[in-house]
Chain A
Amino acid sequence: MGYTMIEKIFKSHLVRPNDEVKPGNIVWIKLDVRSARDFGGANVVKNFNKYCKGDKVNDASKTFFTFDCQAPANTIPYANNQQVCREFAKSQGIKVYDVNAGIGSHVLIEQGLAVPGSTTVGTDSHLNIMGAVGAFGQGMGDIDIAYAMRHGATWFEIPPSIKITINGKLKYPAGAKDLTLFVLKEFGSAGLLGASVEFYGEAVETLSLHERITLSSMATEMGAIVGLIPANDAVVDYFKQRSKAGTIDHVKTDGDAVYTKEYTLDITGLKPLAAAPPSPDNVVEVDKLKEIKVDSVFIGSCTNGRFEDIKAAADIVSGKKIKGNIMAKIVPATGEVYQRMIETGVLQTLFNAGFIIASQGCGGCASGQIGMTGKNEVQISTSNRNFDGKQGDGKTYLTSPVVAAYSALNGYISYE
């Protein structure tokens, strides 16, 4: 009997090589990347010092801090927490991707650290974004990460694997975010709970890296452990240029692998979608929301903060002005994204249209550096969560960058 993708990744990382890899079994897995953000990071250090005082981390070269939550810190507790991490990192010889780097998960991809087939853990609940490059990523709490840093391995219960084949072609103005919301609509927030999902089909295989990131980033909202997309040649080439690893492998599921469930979806004729409050799986067609006026727009996040996402918005607003008093905000995912915005003129275009451009990172979602909403405020956000109270007292609709940009121009939810 063959193995699914998650089983193959786990099999190549077993602490005990003879462990039986099948769903439900608990195995100990070696971790290629162990990371902590400024969010949770100080608690990781606290736990490390509580349980392993005086110890060295298992392998400093595989251990990283990535500051993205409050970058730079705008509260004293966060500033203190970041400093705790910096001092610990210095004493351990750990590299810190500091407040100018950007969203940690994206930085780990850009730096060629989380390569296809690898295992990455960190304190970011969207770390399963690594599924976008055919790798395993798991967000964890601070006890888990302190342990991972100390020992370089941890336990996992092997999840069941679900295969989702998505046929059809995406047609503008629908894009990867609409595809992602479509999947959320189909399965809800718990329909894939605890599963390793593998995505196949024409609609998925043709996605480029930034689009794969959008889909895999919301595996968390689908309740899945990870949403794996087998790396294509373009993804492998990306890492060949960026990774210090000798070879980059396509991890492919075995032909006779056994899935718990298999589903086939078709996105032919898909129109732009939005997740209405109060949950990411409350998905409706944008056409049904056109009466809704918009007060603020946010484009960014680990789901839609790549250069291509921001450029898509810039192309729409180029030479135009956003409507009235709408507050429109851009947060590039990383410094690399920001740099491309500068080099290509995208930054100027957005600025001229009236957008606020914030520094790279998680500022639109994490701690509300630019993201809080007031009572009755309606926000269009390209991020991944719209739970009550998460981004303030207002109402947040999750959409693609295309819908966000048109909504900023028109003053109501729209895509043309």
Chain B
Amino acid sequence: MKDRIIRGRAVILRDGDGNIYNNIDTDQIYHNNYLAITDISLMGQYAFGNLKGHENFHKTAQKGDIIIAGRNFGAGSSRQQAVDCFTALGISLILCESIGAIYKRNAINSGFPMICCEDILKLAAAKTGVIKDGDTIEVNIETGAIQKIENGKATAIGKAAPFSNVQLDIYETGSLFSFVPPLN
């Protein structure tokens, strides 16, 4: 069974004014210049290549990082590459306020974990937020519990919407193709 508690370094996506980015679209995540690429291992280098201030994300990202963003993450096109580029970089989770409809399916169907938290803009706000860039946080995808880890001590700081059954099932097996309709 895959780990249902995901721990990693918080990487908060902020704009030039320090506000958390909302409406990050698929062209900002993975520009249409690189759509012809079909090999996942080549996709990581283009992640956020068109998101102002984060063009070098692929160089600074570490395996296991948790990306934090605002509302409507992944708005726009249906390109799977916009999810797969994070798989390529070993990103462990995206934690955001809400997800674009198609992007959400693409993430779920490829077993890439994403979770929504209504309060994330507050929790990770520039000066007042409890989550700072680089903090270690832990998210339980089954219960939605979000914890901050400091000096080996875990503190509950918020709650996300738990994974649906379909999301958990696919996450577990890593692929939608493990299931054949009709399902019971």
Q: Are B79 and A40 in contact (CB under 8 A)?
A: yes
- Any B CB within 8 A of the CB of A248: no
- Any B CB within 8 A of the CB of A387: yes
Give A219-243 as 1s and 0s: 1 = Cβ < 8 Å from B's Cβ atoms.
0100111000000000000000000
Among candidates A26, A46, A77, A151, residue contacting B180 with C-beta atoms closer than 8 Å? A151
Write the chain B residue with the least CB distance to A220: B76
Q: Are B181 and A15 in contact (CB under 8 A)?
A: yes
Q: Are B182 and A28 in contact (CB under 8 A)?
A: yes
- Any B CB within 8 A of the CB of A52: yes
- Any A CB within 8 A of the CB of B32: yes
Among candidates B32, B71, B77, B105, residue contacting A190 with C-beta atoms closer than 8 Å? B71
- Any A CB within 8 A of the CB of B176: yes
Residues of the A chain whose Cβ atoms lie less than 8 Å from the Cβ of B166: 26, 155, 157
Give A134-159 as 1s and 0s: 1 = Cβ < 8 Å from B's Cβ atoms.
00001111111001001101110100
- Any B CB within 8 A of the CB of A366: yes
- Any B CB within 8 A of the CB of A380: no
Among candidates A15, A78, A142, residue contacting B182 with C-beta atoms closer than 8 Å? A15
> How many residue pairs, one in A and one in B, have C-beta atoms under 8 Å apart?
122
Residues of the A chain whose Cβ atoms lie less than 8 Å from the Cβ of B157: none
Alpha-carbon gap, A220 to B102, bound state (A): 9
Chain B 85-139 residues near chain A, CB threshold 8 A: 98, 100-102, 105-106, 109-110
- Any B CB within 8 A of the CB of A163: no
- Any B CB within 8 A of the CB of A318: no
In the complex, besides A15-B181, A26-B164, 7 extra interface pairs with C-beta distance below 8 angstroms are A28-B181, A40-B78, A123-B78, A154-B181, A224-B101, A225-B101, A279-B23
Chain A to chain B: the 5 pairs with minimum beta-carbon distance, closest first = A77-B36, A141-B106, A141-B80, A51-B177, A139-B78
Write the chain B residue with the least CB distance to A77: B36
Residues of the B chain whose Cβ atoms lie less than 8 Å from the Cβ of A81: 36, 38
Q: A144-B106, A387-B25, A390-B32 are in contact. Are A26 and B165 (CB under 8 A)?
A: yes
With a 10 A CB-CB cut-off, give which of A16, A144, A151 has the most chain B CB atoms: A144
Residues of the B chain whose Cβ atoms lie less than 8 Å from the Cβ of A390: 25, 27, 32
Chain A 38-81 residues near chain B, CB threshold 8 A: 39-40, 42-43, 46, 51-52, 75, 77-78, 80-81
User: How many whole Å from A247's CB to the nearest CB in chain B?
Assistant: 26
Give A155-199 as 1s and 0s: 1 = Cβ < 8 Å from B's Cβ atoms.
101000000000000000000000000000000011001100000
With a 10 A CB-CB cut-off, give which of B36, B52, B100, B109 has the most chain A CB atoms: B36
User: How many whole Å from B19's CB to the nearest CB in chain A?
Assistant: 15
Q: Are B80 and A43 in contact (CB under 8 A)?
A: yes
User: How many whole Å from A34's CB to the nearest CB in chain B?
Assistant: 13
User: How many whole Å from A193's CB to the nearest CB in chain B?
Assistant: 6
Residues of the B chain whose Cβ atoms lie less than 8 Å from the Cβ of A75: 36
Number of interface residues of A (CB under 8 A): 50
Q: Are A153 and B35 in contact (CB under 8 A)?
A: no
Q: Are B28 and A389 in contact (CB under 8 A)?
A: yes
User: How many whole Å from B153's CB to the nearest CB in chain A?
Assistant: 36
Q: Are A223 and B72 in contact (CB under 8 A)?
A: yes
User: How many whole Å from A141's CB to the nearest CB in chain B?
Assistant: 4
User: How many whole Å from A371's CB to the nearest CB in chain B?
Assistant: 11
- Any B CB within 8 A of the CB of A348: no
User: How many whole Å from B1's CB to the nearest CB in chain A?
Assistant: 21
Among candidates A52, A193, A366, residue contacting B72 with C-beta atoms closer than 8 Å? A193
Write the chain B residue with the least CB distance to A190: B72
Q: Are A141 and B76 in contact (CB under 8 A)?
A: no
Residues of the A chain whose Cβ atoms lie less than 8 Å from the Cβ of B80: 40, 43, 141-143
With a 10 A CB-CB cut-off, give which of A154, A155, A224, A385 has the most chain B CB atoms: A155
Q: Are A144 and B23 in contact (CB under 8 A)?
A: no
User: How many whole Å from A39's CB to the nearest CB in chain B?
Assistant: 6
With a 10 A CB-CB cut-off, give which of A143, A279, A390 has the most chain B CB atoms: A143
Residues of the A chain whose Cβ atoms lie less than 8 Å from the Cβ of B68: none
Q: Are B182 and A16 in contact (CB under 8 A)?
A: yes
User: How many whole Å from B18's CB to the nearest CB in chain A?
Assistant: 18
Residues of the A chain whose Cβ atoms lie less than 8 Å from the Cβ of B56: none
- Any A CB within 8 A of the CB of B66: no
